[in-house]
Structure 1
């Protein structure tokens, strides 16, 4: 370490940058990445089936060297432009979603790790499809359970919405616990502009007769028509998953009856678009602002018998969310208060 301190400061900063911004290599498969994973701790239905690991932060070892290095590294971190993040997600059939955050790491804050700003430009998520390993602990099994009944919540929406909600509250790496998550009247901290979801070809040699059911347990009659196309082997598995995900995202943003309250949070925390990419090529783009304007046609029209209570809550929420989104576009500090916590009780 004495040799490091003898180097010019600009060279030391170059070394700090290479160490701190080194990428975390995604795991090759779920079979080789089970030791340090745990489920998101709040225990809600939406986070069932999400098995994450706390991202390594190379800055920690540097901060502990001595006072001089601590001051230099802290200064370097304060100017690090961390607004674009990458996460690798292993989509393990009938187990769940296994995210691994890579670069850049979250910054150390008081008691937790938090990004330097609540505004995130982009999250680039690489999604890989896997059958579950044969020798897998029961802890990891059946995290996302698929039901035959239409009355059940959709596990695809549950899982990916759980990831979204966790990011809105906890930021990159799911490490920021600075705001309470059990109070629906408190808005999450993080605002994200664009989320790019790049679904790659499965890295293994499996047939992937279904993209959501383990090949060993596959039966043509196992799932309802709600999952149409999941087992259409004439279509590449990565494209099948993109179709399912984009279709369910439309349900979420369209405020279908059972998803009213979940859809609210996306409009409150996202300013740009979802972009689905299949093997590096854009598959579908969903503009959040455009979808929000379409909601007026759904709730403020005159067709049918209106639900006056629902309409009143929706109008109050729209006035608030429109003002919030204007502030988001200007990068202003946002209120932590959510005046309308749910549209449908």
Structure 2
């Protein structure tokens, strides 16, 4: 159908065609197809960690119907933009394959339009065994001797849910800093070696849904001895290495996701970048398992708990102004401007703290 033909249709029909076109979602990739057309996402932003991640991203820009429509005539471009503005925010959907022993494979299924504030982003996480011929993947997934497997797994989760997620379809690749150079850490200015303004938008609510079937007895990973020692630094081993009674893989991964996010939200070295990105750009995080809410936390609460107060002015007792108090003032102001600051949580904390 040509542009002229489309414009000749009645508005009601044309509007429905545009709605259907911009609402189309890509199909999640199958585990057997993830080895092609992907490259390892490099860490150009955090000098305290290795320059190589275990995140495998698509090499080609993601094409979409709305992008094609936005490059047509002025009238169709305007009509497409109007349809996009009215599109359900739930259509910001990211699929992530958690491939055991390999890494994370993210695929944007739908990203209606770039904007500064997104109401809701839905991330679905699926657990998968490695491909039948995983030699390349396993080689890339092996850890350096100075990195513990559990730390590296948590770091990749943090990196994916902050640097990659907040970068949209095209995460930053500019060499903002040389990852892995481990500069000296300065207590008086903890953010001095970290880049600013990575996030391209804020997210009101981030929903992470871990999808998976309940485990049966055959899924138990009870290998011991030398085999376990060799596997200790394999990606995800810290999550699936043993089968806790009554805990299926999906709940294990949900627990690891929250543990990693909670570690980042503490805003301690060497996870400063990720805690800062979460507090500055995300309102609340909800983790589900197969569609059922498992936990939820408002990041206003997390921020206030870190500082033991809800008002930056209450920090005057600490005396000299520090980089930490300055950041607290800055992030509170930013959350208020971006509609991420939850006054109900603030009032609840005020009552609890007297």
TM-score class, shorter-chain normalisation, is: 0.7 to 0.9
Ranges in structure 1 where 5+ consecutive residues have no aligned partner: 108-114, 299-306, 332-345
Deviation of 1:250 (Å): 1.5
Structure with the larger RCO, 1 or 2 (CA within 8 Å, 6+ apart): 2
Please give the residue correspondences for 1:281-300 in structure 2 after superposition, counting only pairs within 5 Å. 281-297=292-308
After TM superposition, the score normalised by the length of structure 1 is 0.73
Please give the residue correspondences for 1:90-105 in structure 2 after superposition, counting only pairs within 5 Å. 90-103=97-110, 105=111
Q: Is the 8 A contact 2:42 2:53 kept in 1?
A: no
Q: Is the 8 A contact 1:90 1:129 kept in 2?
A: yes
Q: Secondary structure at the match of 1:40?
A: strand
Q: Does 1:163 align with 2:163?
A: no
User: How many residues get paired?
Assistant: 302
**Any idea what the Cα deviations from partners look like across 1:221-266, whole Å, max 9, x if unmatched?**
8549x94775225221111111122122222212344323431221
Equivalent residue in structure 2 for 1:19, among 8, 21, 37: 21
Q: Is the 8 A contact 1:209 1:218 kept in 2?
A: no
Q: Secondary structure at the match of 1:292?
A: helix
Deviation of 1:163 (Å): 1.5
Please give the residue correspondences for 1:177-216 in structure 2 after superposition, counting only pairs within 5 Å. 182=177, 184-186=195-197, 188-202=199-213, 207-209=218-220
Q: Is the 8 A contact 1:230 1:241 kept in 2?
A: no
Q: Secondary structure at the match of 1:50?
A: strand
Equivalent residue in structure 2 for 1:123, among 116, 121, 131: 121
After TM superposition, the score normalised by the length of structure 2 is 0.71
Equivalent residue in structure 1 for 2:274, among 242, 262, 269: 262
Change (3 A) 1:18 1:79: closer
Distance in 2, matches of 1:135 and 1:308, equals 60
Distance in 1, matches of 2:286 and 2:7, equals 45
Distance in 2, matches of 1:308 and 1:255, equals 21
Q: Is the 8 A contact 1:91 1:129 kept in 2?
A: yes
Distance in 2, matches of 1:158 and 1:25, equals 27
Q: Is the 8 A contact 1:144 1:159 kept in 2?
A: no
**Any idea what the Cα deviations from partners look like across 1:190-247, whole Å, max 9, x if unmatched?**
1111111111115999954459x9x9x96278549x9477522522111111112212
Distance in 2, matches of 1:126 and 1:23, equals 14
Distance in 2, matches of 1:149 and 1:180, equals 24
Ranges in structure 2 where 5+ consecutive residues have no aligned partner: 178-193, 310-317, 342-354
Please give the residue correspondences for 1:106-117 in structure 2 after superposition, counting only pairs within 5 Å. 106-107=112-113, 115=114, 117=115
